[in-house]
Amino acid sequence: MRRAGNMILIANGVTVESFARILSLAFDRPIIDRTGSAGVFDFLLEASTEGTTLLPPPPLPDGTPVVAEPAPSIFSAIQDQLGLKLDPTRGPVEVLVIDRAEKPTEN
């Protein structure tokens, strides 16, 4: 959900691993769960979309841009609201390599 350029993420009954996959979409990079927390949780996160791949809201019908209410950065919000921390690190990731491509032949 978005409110005036900020995001409100509500996740009910999800694992931390699933929550990390949701965050991966917002950051367009892998986020790996290293909490070791098992079970399911309810998350409510309110943050600015700045620094994410989420699109800003479209202008109002009269063309006026939507002005966002001040909200914490997503990094601060994750730590302050959820008690989790995102630490940038390097690690192995799966990639798909295409060696070549050919047009299909007609049957």
At 31-81, the pLDDT tens digits run 889 999 899 999 898 888 777 777 666 667 887 666 667 788 888 999 999
Q: Could you tell me which residue, 96 or 7, shows the higher pLDDT?
A: 96
**Pairwise CA distance, residues 66 & 78, whole Å:** 24
Q: Look at residue 27 and give its three-state secondary structure.
A: helix
Nearest of 14, 40, 25, 23 to residue 78 by alpha carbon = 23
Mean of pLDDT over the chain? 83
- More confident: 3 or 62: 62
Rounded to 5 degrees, φ, ψ at 43 are -120, 140
pLDDT value for 97: 95
Residue showing tokens 């367009």:
28
pLDDT at 99 over 90: yes
d(CA 80, CA 74): 10
List the end-to-end C-alpha distance of the chain, in Å, as a whole number.
48
Q: For the whole prediction, is pTM greater than 0.75?
A: no
